[in-house]
Amino acid sequence: MIADEELIRRVQAGDAAAFDALVDRYYGACLRFAWRSLGQREDAEDAVQEALVRVYRALRRGRSPRHFRPWLLGIVLNRCRSHVQRARRRRLLFERWWARQDPETLRVQPADGAGADGDLDPKLKTALAALRPKLREAFLLKYVEQLHYEEMAEITGASVSALKMRVKRASDQVLAMLTEDTA
Amino acid sequence: MSELDPRLEPWLAALRKEPLARPEARARLAAALRAEDARAARRILSPPAALAAGIALVALTSAFWLALWRLDTPERGVAAEELTSAQFVLHARDARSVSVVGDFNDWDPRATPLTRTGDGVWSAVVQLRPGTVRYAYLVDGTEWRADPHAVTLHEDFGRPTSVAYIVPQEAP
Amino acid sequence: MSVRLIAGVALACAFGLALGPRLALAQDARLNKRLDPQTAAAVAALVDSASTLGLPTEPLVQKALEGQSKGASGEAIVHAVRALIRDLATAREALGDDVSVDALRLAAAALDAGATPAQLERLRPHRTRESFAGGLAGLVYLMSRGVPAEQSLDLITAMLNARLSAAEFASLQRLVERDMMAGAPPAEAAAVRARALIQHGRPTGLDGRVRP
């Protein structure tokens, strides 16, 4: 098996097939993280695609990350955050505009937000969705993607101690929700 | 280092499972990467700055012309191959005139008259872009009627409206 | 018109403005021709807002022209355009970002027919399919024939999962119409025809036997 560093070297030299090999190796993990973060498969696929195109561009321009996997997940994480921000901004814009219109409105029905993918146990899905985004990110990076706290600090911009606290809070909250009706 | 609560373990196993990639998603990614390659190639081949500026200027003014033209005639410029023939039919024995009025003719009651083919059947064939089309029939210039064979939405403006979805032609 | 044209071109050359997107916000000539000035201005403002919100504008212009040709008052026209903006925004919220204008319009029609945003969200995972708009057309059709929203969604999602084409969704409509004319209740007819299309890709009669 060819090491990441070698594949990266080849991509930098213009070998597109080497990037395909990297994608084959890491697409699953990227999709897993994005899907658990965003809750929707389609959105996750979009975020992963955006991330991988950026990664490709960066590598072609000579970027040489020290450790590929955390760096890659950091870019996926940023695309996920950006996706959420865009949706939130649009919704706010619309609600503000709508509020300025005449009050003889037919009711604005806000969308539910509950994803309909049948991938995970619904209790687990709900528990994850109930976490605040930063807690969910930390939880997934630590326990699912199994990064070190130092790596997580580098890609999220938060301190190691802050991240440890988020992971603890997230675990407590998730556990509470998953075990509540078996008590 | 925080300890992982062992009760979470079974749930983590499910979370750690890598989902299978969908072929469509991988195909979209492959296309995006190819586009990125093309973009990079164009950057390498781009002409010197002055020429590029000149080209940009021409492009801008062309865009201006095109955009202005589109303001008045938004639906023209669709490639002929994309259009599909659609037949509008209405049974109206006692009518003196029937026209079909809809999105495709900017709701102009005079634009698309139907011809009487005999026995109270009126029809017209129109070239339509694939996609949704909303329309209604206008009988004798005064009476609006929905298409009995299409989906009728609730009455807009107190008059009926029909909607149809024109399927794109399959490539031969 | 031509003097404005020349002046405008000169402006473009002088300042190199990216005029394409800005021109889309200029008042649509059709509104001026067909509506009274006050209504035209009000609708143009709504179209402008919609554009800022990233929503498609042509359906809004068409809605205004429809109102004018049906003799509606300016107030009614403005109200209808506003309601359409709301429905398009709700549809986009439910379905996600890059769906086609056709899909959005059909989804707005489904909302109008009584579907809830939460119900529309069930279709979200299918939004990149080529036949997505066709599926939405099928949904609007079934609901218009009185098939309850939940059941309509079940059938349409099953057909989308089976990767049926837009033409096959159109077949569903034709076949159910025929069955209804023969007296079959729409919900049952829809279930039978959908199942058959999924299983065989060829229509069967209501008795389940495959027709040649």
| pLDDT at residue C103 in the model | 94
| CA-based nearest residue to C161, from C185, C195, C115 | C195
Q: Assign C3 a pLDDT band (cuts: 50, 70, 90).
A: low
Specify the higher pLDDT residue, B119 or B48. B119
Using a CB–CB cutoff of 8 Å, tell me whether C114 touches chain B: no
> Any idea how long chain C is?
212
User: What is the pLDDT averaged over residues C178-198?
Assistant: 91
Paired with B166 in beta bridges are B131
Res. C172: pLDDT tops 90: yes
Q: Do C86 and A102 touch (CB under 8 A)?
A: no
pLDDT tens, B85-130? 899 999 999 999 999 999 999 999 999 999 998 789 999 999 998 8
Res. C24: pLDDT tops 50: no
CATH number at residue A168: 1.10.10.10
Q: Nearest CB to A111: which of C86, C94, C128?
A: C94
Using a CB-CB distance cutoff of 8 angstroms, which residues of chain B are in contact with residue C18? 60
- How many inter-chain contacts (A to C, CB under 8 Å) are there? 60
Residue A147 sits in the same domain as residue A178: yes
Most confidently predicted of A65-74, A124-133, B33-42, C195-204: A65-74
Q: What domains lie within chain B, and their CATH numbers?
A: 21-72 (no CATH), 80-166 (2.60.40.10)
Q: Nearest CB to C69: which of B61, B101, B154?
A: B101
| pLDDT at residue A20 in the model | 95
| pLDDT at residue B83 in the model | 87
The answer to whether C161 touches C123, Cβ cutoff 8 Å, is no
Q: Do A175 and B18 touch (CB under 8 A)?
A: no
Using a CB–CB cutoff of 8 Å, tell me whether B31 touches chain C: no
| pLDDT at residue B65 in the model | 52
The alpha carbon of residue A109 is apart from the nearest alpha carbon of chain C, in Å, by 7
CATH number at residue A70: 1.10.1740.10
The alpha carbon of residue A115 is apart from the nearest alpha carbon of chain C, in Å, by 8
- Structure-block tokens of residue B162: 């029909």
C209: left (phi over 0), alpha (psi -120 to 50) or beta: beta
Residue A138 sits in the same domain as residue A91: no
Low-confidence ranges of chain A (pLDDT < 70): 102-118, 181-183
d(CA C138, CA A175): 42
d(CA A134, CA C150): 35
| pLDDT at residue C81 in the model | 94
Write down which residue in A91, A116, A141 finishes a domain.
A116
Ranges A174-183, C15-24, C143-152: which has the least confidence: C15-24
- Structure-block tokens of residue A133: 């985004």
Using a CB–CB cutoff of 8 Å, tell me whether C134 touches chain B: yes
Query: Residues 180-209, chain C: which have Cβ within 8 Å of B?
Result: none
Write down which residue in A116, A140, A159 finishes a domain.
A116
- Structure-block tokens of residue A7: 């594949």
Angle at B105 between CA B102 and CA B106, to 5 degrees: 75
pLDDT tens, B137-163? 999 999 999 998 888 877 779 898 999
Residue A138 sits in the same domain as residue A105: no
Q: Do A124 and B14 touch (CB under 8 A)?
A: yes
- Taking CA–CA distances from C174, the nearest residue in chain B reads B149
Q: Do A112 and C90 touch (CB under 8 A)?
A: no
| pLDDT at residue A116 in the model | 38
Write down which residue in A86, A116, A146 finishes a domain.
A116
Instruction: Domain ranges for chain C, please list them.
Output: 23-95, 98-212
The answer to whether A15 touches A90, Cβ cutoff 8 Å, is no
| pLDDT at residue C47 in the model | 95
pLDDT tens, B66-78? 544 444 444 444 5
| pLDDT at residue A113 in the model | 38
Res. C12: pLDDT tops 70: no
* Host domain of residue A94: 1-116
Q: Nearest 5°: phi and psi at A161?
A: -65, -40
What percentage of chain B exceeds 90 in pLDDT?
A: 41
Using a CB-CB distance cutoff of 8 angstroms, which residues of chain B are in contact with residue C70? 107, 144, 156-159
Count how many domains chain A has.
Answer: 2
In this prediction, the answer to ipTM > 0.85 reads: no
Query: Residues 3-42, chain B: which have Cβ within 8 Å of A?
Result: 4-5, 7-8, 11-12, 14-22, 25-26, 28-29, 32-33, 36-37, 40
Residue A87 sits in the same domain as residue A164: no
What percentage of chain C exceeds 70 in pLDDT?
A: 82
| pLDDT at residue B57 in the model | 60
Using a CB-CB distance cutoff of 8 angstroms, which residues of chain C are in contact with residue A101? 82
Q: Do C118 and A101 touch (CB under 8 A)?
A: no
Residue A99 sits in the same domain as residue A165: no
The answer to whether B61 touches B105, Cβ cutoff 8 Å, is no
pLDDT tens, C64-122? 999 999 999 999 999 999 999 999 999 998 998 778 999 999 999 999 888 999 899 88
Q: Do C167 and B64 touch (CB under 8 A)?
A: no
Residue A23 sits in the same domain as residue A47: yes
| pLDDT at residue B56 in the model | 58
Judge residue C198's burial from the number of C-beta atoms within 10 Å of its C-beta, 0-12 exposed, 13-18 middle, 19 or more buried: middle
Residue A30 sits in the same domain as residue A46: yes
Ranges A142-146, C49-53, C154-158, C197-201: which has the least confidence: C197-201
Q: Assign B52 a pLDDT band (cuts: 50, 70, 90).
A: low
Using a CB-CB distance cutoff of 8 angstroms, which residues of chain B are in contact with residue A29? 18
Q: Do B32 and A35 touch (CB under 8 A)?
A: no
Residue A23 sits in the same domain as residue A98: yes
Using a CB-CB distance cutoff of 8 angstroms, which residues of chain A are in contact with residue B8? 143, 171, 174-175
Using a CB-CB distance cutoff of 8 angstroms, which residues of chain C are in contact with residue B131? 100-102, 133
Residue A26 sits in the same domain as residue A108: yes
Is the entire prediction scored with pTM above 0.80? no
